[in-house]
């Protein structure tokens, strides 16, 4: 059974960079079948797609986040990571990593447990 | 402001049938399949329906999905207390080249 385990700090200072890692077990992140993505959910609000990385290594992100997003993969550790730079209080949210199928509606079929990241000094 | 539009709340009594709507545009719901997620309090979303009408293994057949044009619906028949949760629709958006979500619907079982 595939599992995604998230790690990273729960508190980030304004203007600094948020960094989260998602470690995949029960399957290979090198698979050419899937995308690996990040979604966030501000407290009490809905879900927002942040971006994903495809098996080609190419990344795509939500234009609303402009160029602040970096998503990378470390195949040796079977994990992928998110970096969000120049954070503000508006970036406070629960961040989820997830596997995304590139077909049949491109669903997020496996999710990490979520990490609450608070942006505060 | 979410790209897909859902009613903020829905409710029903045990055994009833309820439906949750999801409205989008030609670049997302109108041209791609719709997925639905169920989120219980304090937990990560769970895939409930994909490719508009397909239930992942383990999801009861009380849940069904449909789509017409730029609108989609999730129906729950034989409502049970454990169905009380937030439900989100989502779709691939060809203009964004990414996923878009609805704002979520809080389902209350009275």
Of the candidates A44, A36, A43, the residue with the CA atom closest to the CA atom of residue A20: A36
Residues B51-62: tens digit of each pLDDT: 999 999 999 999
Q: What is the pLDDT of residue A103?
A: 85
Q: Which residues does chain A have within 8 Å of residue B32's beta carbon, measured at their own beta carbons?
A: 105-106
pLDDT over 80 (residue B97) = yes
B45 touches chain A (CB under 8 A): yes
A35 pairs with which residues across the strands? A100
pLDDT over 80 (residue A96) = yes
Helix and strand counts by DSSP (H, E) for chain A: 0, 11
**Binary contact (B33, A62; C-beta < 8 A):** no
Number of Cβ within 10 Å of residue A77's Cβ equals: 12
Q: What is the pLDDT of residue B61?
A: 96
List, in order, residues 6 or more apart from A10 with CB less than 8 Å away. A115, A116, A117, A118
pLDDT over 90 (residue B70) = yes
List, in order, residues 6 or more apart from B85 with CB less than 8 Å away. B38, B39, B40, B41, B106, B107
Residues B10-62: tens digit of each pLDDT: 999 999 999 999 999 999 999 999 999 999 999 999 999 999 999 999 999 99
pLDDT over 90 (residue B82) = yes
Q: Which of A63, A106, A114, A116 to mutate to probe the B interface, most B CBs <10 Å?
A: A106
pLDDT over 80 (residue A66) = no
Q: What is the pLDDT of residue A47?
A: 96
Number of Cβ within 10 Å of residue B23's Cβ equals: 16
């Amino acid at each position: 059974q595939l599992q995604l385990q998230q790690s990273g700090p729960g508190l980030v200072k304004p203007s600094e960079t948020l960094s989260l890692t998602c470690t995949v077990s029960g399957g290979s992140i090198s698979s050419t079948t899937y995308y690996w993505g990040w979604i966030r959910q501000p407290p009490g609000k809905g879900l927002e797609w942040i971006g994903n990385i495809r098996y080609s290594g190419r990344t795509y992100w939500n234009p609303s986040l402009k160029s602040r997003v970096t998503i990378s993969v470390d195949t040796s550790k079977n994990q992928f990571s998110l970096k969000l730079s120049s954070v503000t209080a508006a970036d406070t949210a629960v961040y989820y990593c997830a596997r995304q199928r590139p077909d049949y509606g491109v669903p997020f079929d496996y999710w990490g447990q979520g990490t609450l990241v608070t942006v505060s000094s | 402001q979410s790209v897909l539009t859902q009613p903020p709340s829905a409710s029903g009594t045990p055994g009833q049938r309820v439906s949750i709507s999801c409205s989008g545009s030609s670049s997302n719901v109108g041209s791609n399949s719709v997925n639905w997620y169920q989120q219980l309090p304090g937990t990560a979303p769970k895939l409930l329906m994909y490719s508009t009408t397909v239930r992942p293994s383990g999801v009861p057949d009380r849940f069904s999905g449909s789509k017409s044009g730029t609108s989609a619906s999730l129906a729950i028949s034989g409502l049970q207390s454990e169905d009380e949760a937030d439900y989100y629709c989502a779709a691939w958006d060809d203009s964004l080249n990414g996923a878009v979500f609805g704002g979520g619907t809080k389902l209350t079982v009275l």
